[in-house]
Each structure stands twice: as structure tokens, then as C-alpha cells.
Chain A
Amino acid sequence: MRLYVEGIGLLGPGLDGWAASREVLAGDAPYTPAPTNLRASDMLPPAERRRAGVPIKLALAVGQEAFLQSGRATSAAATVFTSSGGDNDNVHAINGILATAPREVSPTRFHNSVHNAAAGYWCIAAGTHEPSTSLCAYDASFAAGLLESAAQATVDNALVALIAYDHCYPEPLHAVRPITAAFGLALILTSRQSDQSIAALDVDFVPGKAAETAMQDAGLEALRRGVPAARGLPLLAALAGSKPAQISIDYLDDNHLDIRVTPC
């Protein structure tokens, strides 16, 4: 499936936006880890802004950056959200509340607990009635999101925003699911080349194992391995390099995605 990238958004530890991180990802500047610069999105009305947990902050920040770069209207795009977890702080809190009397789960906690909470807030902020889906494929959540986005762009001829995010669980869940940082990335994807196209992607689902493309920098490689959504970092590194590249991203145990990146 061939698709074109028109915008990129990024927010992670020491990666404060795509524009600010591009040289680091291209290997032209050193990577310096720092806590992810989470902030409430000005896209949301004040009431929703107050209720936004980490995933919503990540999703809106990267989505907004990618849309601004593409120049596309947020209302025109279908969205694919993908995450291994949802709002992990909230899930922890709800489990704690349910384990002790009285079991008073607040309405906001409950509606923020759905896996598609970030999608719901995005659609309100972006004013979009286009289709939105929210996926999970554990460690392969980024690969699943990219595959679904590619199918939507090519089959439905849709303008698609892919938004991937993950963040740490508090203990005790962190011990059994050690996600190491808050990280999000976004790609604006279309099936046709335009003046806004940055690069072409040829995405193929391939049966069998392959050697995953790793990050050159040890710190970025640790991030890639430590956060499911960061499995997309090699693709961003290839886009940052502005050179033709071929990368491989694991999907499930016995299949993977091959991605050819061709700058426009």
C-alpha cells in the first residue's frame, strides 16, 4: 500500500516536538533524555482541558503539531488512535476504588476509562464527524495502527491522522507492564501525492519474522524498546533523514511490516 506523509507530530522524553527533534532523529545532534513535556491542549474547552489525563495531552499535542505542518483541516480527517493501554493512571485509580468500599467511581473517571477516550476528546476538539477508530495490539499497537491507516487511506481514499501514544503505569501495574515513558507520535497520511507530501511510504504486511530496524542511538533504542508507541521511531528517523530508506517493524510473533520510505 502506498501512502504519503503530509505532517508529523512527536512528543516524548527529550523529544519536544517533531521540528525540535528532527536533527536528533537524523543522527545530526545528540539525544538528551528529559521528562516528557506534557501540557494541556489549547484545542480543548476549559472543562475538557481540566479532565484530560496523560493520553489526551499526548494525543492532542502530537495531532495538533502534525495538522499544523500539513495545513489540513482537522475536521476533514478520519482518525486512527492506537495505544497498548488507555489512561493507565485512571485504570489504576479505578481498580483501587473498586477494591475498597464505598465503590464510588466518578463519572469523569468512568468515561475517561474507555480506550477511545483520547479519540472522543480529539473529535470534540477537532470538530470532526469523520470515522475514528481506537486500536490495541499490545507491543504491536503502532504497527497495527499504521496498517489500518494505510488501509483507510488507500481503500477508502481517506485523509487519515494516525495518532499513537503510550505512557507509564503506576505501581503495582508498572511491575507487570513496564512502559518507560510518556510518548506520542502522529502522522497525517493520504493516498495521493500533493504539494504538502514529505515522503512516500510503501507499507507491506509480511508473514514471518524479520530483523527489526533499531535506533542508532542507545538512548533512543531504549525508548523504542520501552514504549509500544515508540516502535514507530525508526520510521520517524527515516523521515528525518530525508533519504530513501527501508525499515522493518515487528507486528505479532510471526509477521512484520516492511516500510519503504521515499522522500518527495
Chain B
Amino acid sequence: MAEKRDLNHVIKSKTVTSIPSGKYYGSLDLQSLVISHHTLANSLGLGSSATMDALRTRCSGLAPCAFEDVDLEAYIAKVDALDSYRVRADLSAYDCRNNRLAQLCLEQDGFEKAVAAARKKYGAARIGVFLGTSTSGILQTELAYRHLDPQTGALPADFHYAETQNSYSLASFVTRYLELTGPSFVVSSACSSSAKVFANAQRMMAAGVCDAAVVGGVDSLCLSTLYGFNSLGLVSRFPCRPYDADRDGISVGEGAGFVLLERATSENSSTAMYLLGVGESSDAYHMSTPHPEGLGAKMAMQRALQSAGLQAGDIDYINLHGTATKSNDASEGKAVADVFGTSVPCSSTKGWTGHLLGAAGITEAVIAMLAVEHGFIPGSVNTQRLDPTIPLDYRIENGEARVERVLSNSFGFGGSNCSLVLGRKA
């Protein structure tokens, strides 16, 4: 420890202060970016409207775990359509559960058509692709390791590393599928991945590197995640109960979501959906436990509000990260109460979708947009008795209200935090 202190001292004592740094807000007119299209695919159904219908009817996608030969007592949110589905023939090397889910989602809500129109308008090289995933096509590798050559130990001949296991597989597949040639990469920062991609796209557009961006994320069921979270004691035996006093862990799900981000023009109507603000931060606390006081979460929310030029009172609904672990909900609850007080309606929708990990950010961003579009405040399924130690206006029942601006939280392992502000222009 003495060594560590000495080193930090050396680094910190040489600090140069002549140049301002760490300024992440105010430099951009984020209000100029509109979300012109969105789409979702998850256990609630295919297309954004299927998710909306399930929210309204309080129909959860969680069911007892029946996935591969997984022997855990848990609930999962599975997309059954994937089992008999294949990716487009010319991209067959990319065929894996994660890319199937990506394609299935791209086929919904006229999204491909919208991207084709954007391609015509801006040119394929001027549209970026920034996507989040935590495990990409790792299931393919997990299954391949059961079929190693008994003599040589080699992987099966039909195993395609780059097109399935590698984290970039997702963005490589989507750029090819949508015929885009602009800048692309995958962000893989665990459960904040597909929220953070909004920040990447916004910066690339502000820097003039692209004129539009396909932003989103996909994560699909795999053994690494199910057994991994189980080893941490974070998987509930019941359908997850966000913010419940008796909550005892997550339910893992799979899902995909995409949006098309474009610069606003005078043609945008007053009901256009804007990316109003993004805030990112790091906990610097622990690899798999959030900061107990929600320090990083608070900074992410404050930076998001600041970048949107909004006050806490301007937010009509907060879609919480709300994983239903003891520690997440307690620390997030403190952070939200610190920033917003106790009067902003909020809820976690993970009781419907399960925890979509690298696709949680995009899925909940779209749910937040649906709240604005439909004047609808989702409640929380499975939550029975609210945790009395968390002082929030946490909604169990669905409600109707005028919703203009929403905040969506996504926090991940490694202390990676991101908050988004979405909605109508003030």
C-alpha cells in the first residue's frame, strides 16, 4: 500500500492545471439530434408496439428457465422465435443467437426501410453504427467447447470466431446487413453498453465524422451470463422484483433494440423525439458492486441534466436501472432521491423484460420514448411491497400522464454509468 500511495502522489503532485479538462457538457447542442425511428425485439414480442402492448396489459416476458441444458432455478426472458430463425443466407457465417436477434429486430417497425432511405439521403459512408453488447455470440463458443476434436482439441470446423464470438461481430453483421460503410464499433461496458452508444454517436456527429447513426444493442442468452451471475448470488429464484423490500436478484433476459439518430431540421414536427442529454461517469469503487451511496449514478444523472440544459423538475418520468438486486436498487434509489427528490414518478421495467444486460440501455431508452409518445407511465410488475427505506415516487401501477421528458438509467459492472434524457424539445 505504501508503494501505491507513493505512486499516486507522484502522478497527482505533477498535475498541470493550466488547461481545463474533464468538461463533458455544454459544448454541444444536443437538442439538434432527433430519434427518427426505433425498434425493439424481446420476450414481450417483436416490434416496439409489442413491448408497449405488454406494458399496458402487464404481461411479463419472464418464465421458468428452459434454455439449452441450464440447470439453474431461475426465471429468464427468452425470445422463442430465435430457435427456428436464421440470418440472411449471404451472411450465414454470422449465424448465431445474438446476430439472429439483431436481424429479427432490424426487420421490425420498418427500420430497414428507414435506414435505406437514410442511406440514400446521406450516403452509406456518412452513417455510423455504434452498438452495445456484453457477450456478443459467446454462446457459439460455449457450445463449440463441448465438441472439441478428441485428438487435437481443435474447435469444430464450422466455428466462426470473428463473425460470432468477437464482440465486434454484432456491428460487423449490422453494417453488412444494412449496407453501411461509416465508422462503426461495439461498446462493451457490461450493462451500460447500449446507453453509452448514444454518447458515441452524438460525439461522432458533432465532430462531423457522420451525418446519422444507427445506435442500439443486442444481448442474447448464454451460459456464461447465467452461471456467472448465479456465482455472485445475484440471480433470483423468482421473477425479479425491482425495488421490492424482498427483492433478491435479477432475472436475465435477451433482447435487441435500434434507433436511427439524425440531425434535426425545420421539417421536424413539434412531436419529434429528441436526444436531449447524455451523462457518463465511473464509480471507481468495485468491479461488481455499485457505490453504496450511488456516487457514480448521481454524477451520471447530473451530467445528463446539465448536458440537456434541464433541471430535475423538468423530468416527468425516470426509467430506473432497477435490476432488483439488493445493492443496485438501494444505491440507485439514494442517488435518484439526491438528484430529483421524491416526487418524480419512476419505475423499473425489468419485471417485464428481465435484465437485458448489454441491450438494457437501448430497450429502456425506447420504453422511455414510448412513455412520451403514449402519455404513459409504466409501473412495475412483480413488485409487491415497496422497500420502505427507498424514498421515491416508485410506481407499481401503470398510469396516464402528460410525459414530455424522461430520464433513463443504465449502470454496469466495472462501475460504468450512463443516463440519457429523451423527449420533446422544450
Using a CB–CB distance below 8 Å, which chain A residues touch chain B?
A: 1, 42-46, 64, 67-68, 70-78, 84-86, 91, 94-96, 98-99, 103-107, 109-117, 119-121, 123-124, 126-138, 140-141, 144, 147-148, 150-152, 154-159, 171-173, 175-177, 190, 192, 194-196, 205, 207, 251-255
Contact = CB atoms under 8 A, between A and B. Distances in A.
- B contact face: mostly helix, strand, loop, or mixed: mixed
A128 to B, nearest CB: 6
A127 B22 contact: no
Given A72-B16, A96-B145, A110-B229, A45 B24 contact: no
Contact of B141 (A74, A95, A137, A156): A95
- Interface size band for B: 35 or more
A175 B154 contact: yes
Contacts of B20: 157
A107 B231 contact: yes
Given A148-B185, A154-B207, A155-B27, A130 B190 contact: no
Nearest to B129: A252
B232 interface: yes
B185 A137 contact: yes
Contacts, number: 274
A10 to B, nearest CB: 18
Contact of A116 (B14, B141, B232, B414): B414
Interface string B187-215: 11110000010011001101101000000
A114 B371 CA distance: 31
A75 B22 CA distance: 9
Where chain A touches its partner, the secondary structure class is mixed
B184 A137 contact: yes
Nearest to A171: B153
Interface of B: 1, 3-4, 7-8, 10-12, 14-16, 18-24, 27-28, 125, 134, 138, 141-142, 145-146, 148, 153-155, 159, 161-162, 166-168, 171-172, 175, 181-190, 196, 199-200, 203-204, 206-207, 209, 223-224, 227-229, 231-232, 280-288, 295-296, 299, 412-416
Nearest to A130: B22
Given A133-B189, A171-B153, A255-B125, A46 B413 contact: no
Given A129-B299, A138-B166, A255-B183, A98 B223 contact: yes
B19 A190 contact: yes
B172 to A, nearest CB: 7
A194 B223 contact: no
Given A116-B412, A136-B186, A42 B21 contact: no
A112, A114, A140 — which one has the most chain B CB atoms within 10 A of its CB? A114
A47 B344 CA distance: 40
A16 B131 CA distance: 35
Contacts of B24: 78, 130-131, 156, 158
B250 to A, nearest CB: 13
Nearest to B299: A129
Given A123-B415, A159-B22, A129 B296 contact: yes
Contact of B228 (A77, A99, A110, A141): A110
A16 B200 CA distance: 33
14 contacts: A85-B166, A95-B145, A98-B145, A114-B188, A116-B188, A119-B189, A129-B296, A130-B22, A132-B189, A136-B166, A138-B172, A156-B27, A190-B19, A207-B125
A114 B209 contact: no
B228 A116 contact: no
Contact of A111 (B182, B280, B288): B288
- Considering the complex of A and B, which 6 residue pairs feature the smallest CB-CB distances, nearest first? A120-B414, A110-B228, A115-B188, A159-B21, A131-B280, A136-B167
A112 B413 CA distance: 10
B23 A67 contact: no
Contacts of A94: 224, 228
A176 B228 contact: no
Contacts of B18: 194-195
Given A99-B145, A190-B21, A254 B181 contact: yes
Interface centre among B175, B183, B190, B413 (most CB of A within 10 A): B183
A180 to B, nearest CB: 15
Given A124-B285, A132-B189, A252-B181, A157 B23 contact: yes
Contacts of A159: 19, 21-22
A156 B203 contact: yes
A112 B288 CA distance: 9
A76 B17 CA distance: 10
